[in-house]
Amino acid sequence: MDTILVVNAGSSSLKFQVFEIGEGASLNCVIKGQMDGIGVRPRLRANKPDGPGLIDQNYSAEEVADLPGAIRTAGAWLRTTQDLNPIAVGHRVVHGGPDYDQPVLLNAQVVAQLERYVPLAPLHQPNNLAPIKSLLANRPELPQVACFDTAFHRNHGALADRYALPERFYAEGVRRYGFHGLSYEFIAERLGEVAPEIANQRVVVAHLGSGSSMCAINGGRSVDSTMGFTALDGLPMGTRPGQIDPGVVLYLIDQKGMSAADVQKMLYQECGLKGLSGLSNDVRELQESKDSRAAFALDYFAHRVGLCAGMLSAALGGIEAFVFTAGVGENSPTMRARIAEKLTWLGAALDPAANAKGGPKISLPDSRVALYVVPTNEELMIARHTLSLLSRRQPERASQRSRA
């Protein structure tokens, strides 16, 4: 069977899904897995969706020391035990910069361009590119497609796109890109099935997880987002601070003697929920903790979500719905309740029973703003883009052969 492999590479983990291509270009997930603990305690797990486990195996740190090693190990397992040899691989790439506003077929030249954006996404971009480079070296004949988290937001108007900086910086690419676009694109499409009555209206979507952001969507298109030039902006996250006065960075460098590298490390790895609580970056652990700092961190998170909801509602001129998605948004009724309380001024009224069950609709019938829980699926979105690009290339190749 023809399949597409989707790869989502993180700092210490490699997530993957295999999609079977069915009739009418339908896509059906047949394997879902991940390799985590890379370089420390590598563990490969995979299963059939809603089915039995296929593998749960530990490796030594030397066997799987880095991301290229992880993709070699996972790829070898897929080929030898599952008899799968994909026709293409789709990758999540966080930053596409000003050059890429749609999925692109990867080659060495494109990878070199994408490496320019490593300083703008140091936690993500190098890891996104590592398996791409490994496959280019070892399987150069295998088509690879990059799908960008920034692409969904590239239709922003100038008012949402610009910083109040001199024009020359905008020309160089210093602008508000926005992220988590693959997630928001999936939700925008999924709303047509889950809640068609609000799918083409004004909606704020909250992608809440270890990385968090929010997006204002109107008619299925991104209007504004909490994230900007990098994935540091907007909401507080697991280890990132979210919105911060640039003067704080100047103070840390000028008065505290920190280097740019020191500040970058702190902002990406030591702030957010972890920095506020002094305990953990994991919402589940903070919810279980009796420490007052844990409660404060969660209250702060909900407070900032509420503030950003007001900002994005203003960008839309009002909203008809608010959608929770991603790890925290989909799985924490407690956090949804905390945040919904911050939305009462908008006319949102939470239904506690529906919230406890996980939705999809979790607002009361008389709520002026509908509240929903909609699970995201970035991997399916990547598979769709990959298949679409391959389908477009086939007629082009046929035309080229005909002309030749």
Q: Catalytic residues, which ones?
A: 149
Number of H helices, E strands in the chain: 15, 13
CA 305 to chain centroid: 17
Identity of the residue numbered 230: T
d(CA 319, CA 361): 16
15 closest CA partner among 31, 34, 2 = 34
Task: Annotate 153-172 with three-state secondary structure.
Answer: HCCCCHHHHCCCCCHHHHHC
152 closest CA partner among 193, 120, 187 = 187
DSSP lists the bridge partners of residue 92 as 147
The torsion angle over the Cα atoms of residues 110, 376, 334 and 351, rounded to 10 degrees, is: 140
CA 14 to chain centroid: 14
Give, in order, the Cα–Cα distances in Å from 200 to each of 12, 186, 257.
38, 14, 50
d(CA 367, CA 349): 5
> What's the token pair of residue 146?
């990059």
> What's the token pair of residue 341?
């309380």
Identity of the residue numbered 53: G
End-to-end C-alpha distance for the chain, whole angstroms: 31
Query: What sign for the dihedral angle of Cα 285, 48, 4, 45?
Result: positive
CB neighbour class for 26 (10 Å; exposed up to 12, middle 13-18, buried from 19): exposed
Does residue 252 sit in helix, strand or coil? Answer: helix
d(CA 77, CA 104): 27
DSSP character for 348?
B
CA 24 to chain centroid: 28
Does residue 107 sit in helix, strand or coil? Answer: coil
